[in-house]
Amino acid sequence: MPIQEETVYSALKQVRDPELMVNIVDLGLIYGVAVEVVGEKTNLDVMMTMTTPACPYGPQLVADARDTLIALDGAGEVKVQVTLTPPWTTEMMTEAARDELGMF
């Protein structure tokens, strides 16, 4: 069964920013997800950003996101790309993330 976009977002919610301890989806770090069914596999392409251009956890977040998606049943090729455009702002966070961080 092909992997759906919702499944990708759900899986990425398991990846938490080690400094803020909030998942990367609710932080607003995921800018887009593309799924492409190729035979029995689903290729996944994720575009994400970091909270700052010099984020010390950037490589770890990318690796954790990729590892999480590779583990999905039926995953084919997995790409996690980083962009800094547009720059991340706190307005990109969900209400749940703001509540978790005490930002009212």
Q: In angstroms, what is the C-alpha Rg of the chain? A: 14
Q: How confident is the model at residue 104 (pLDDT cuts 50, 70, 90)?
A: low
Residue 71, amino acid = A
Delineate the domains of the chain, giving CATH numbers in brackets.
5-83 (3.30.300.130)
68-100 pLDDT, tens digit each: 999 999 999 999 999 999 999 999 999 999 999
Rounded-to-integer distance, Cα 41 and Cα 75, Å:
6
Cα 45 from Cα 23, distance rounded (Å): 18
Residue 101: pLDDT band with limits 50, 70, 90: very high
Answer whether residue 6 shows pLDDT above 80. yes
Q: What is the pLDDT of residue 1?
A: 81
How far apart CA 9 and CA 103 sit, in angstroms, is: 23
The Cβ of residue 22 has, within 10 Å, a number of other Cβ atoms equal to: 21
